Amino acid sequence: MRPRSIALTVVLTIAALGSWYLARLDRVDDDIKPSQDNSHRGYYLKTARILGTGPDGNMLYEILAERAEQQSDNRIEFTDVTINYAPDSDVPWTLKADTALVDQDLQQLRLTGHVRAISNEGFAGRETEIRTEVLQLDPENFVAETDERVQIRIGERSLTATGMLASLKENQLELRSNVSGKFLP
């Protein structure tokens, strides 16, 4: 081999090794650089328990959920939700739903999917169950509202309607339209 060929082979080998090394450094830097992806970066909780307090600081209600996740718009989404009012609040209601969406300030909860509100001392002092697909709840004011179809069972009586406003603390119920029912003596 001629000296010129040997020198060219050495230079090409050094160039190949150098480009391989620089390419490897560039790939390592890509792994280290933070992603520019601005997708959801909130928190999540498994088996969550959130306590809501009244103006006096005492516990008013608790939210139990299989999962709680902060959404990109700073709302919190709960899955497999149960809301219990504290015994001191004199509101004997438990609410359950597939999901609940709440703003960060916990002022309004939007319950969706197989929503059930249950009380052993509900309307007329009888066991009461309210079923709907969507329910807006103001937990501090004990008010539940929906514009959707609602089924209500009070003891042996049953009602259906479209739209409802319920004051859970006063055990008062207002049905909005298309009311029909079954009453046994």
Spatial neighbors of 4 by CB under 8 A, at least 6 apart, are none
Going by pLDDT thresholds of 50, 70 and 90, the confidence category of residue 165 is very high
Stretch 119-132: mean pLDDT, rounded? 86
Q: Give the pLDDT band (50/70/90) at residue 106.
A: low
Task: Dump pLDDT digits (tens) for 2-37.
Answer: 777 777 677 777 777 777 777 776 554 444 454 444
CB 121 within 8 A of CB 97: no
pLDDT averaged over every residue in the chain: 84
Domain edges within the chain:
1-34, 44-182
Closest CA to 119 of 151, 93, 137, 138: 93
* 121: three-class secondary structure by DSSP: coil
Strand stretches in 26-171, DSSP E: 44-53, 59-70, 76-85, 93-102, 109-119, 128-138, 143-154, 157-167
- What pLDDT score was predicted for residue 149? 97
Instruction: Determine the topology of domain 44-182 in CATH.
Output: lipopolysaccharide transport protein A fold (2.60.450)
The DSSP secondary-structure symbol of 28 reads H
Assign 11 to helix, strand or coil: helix
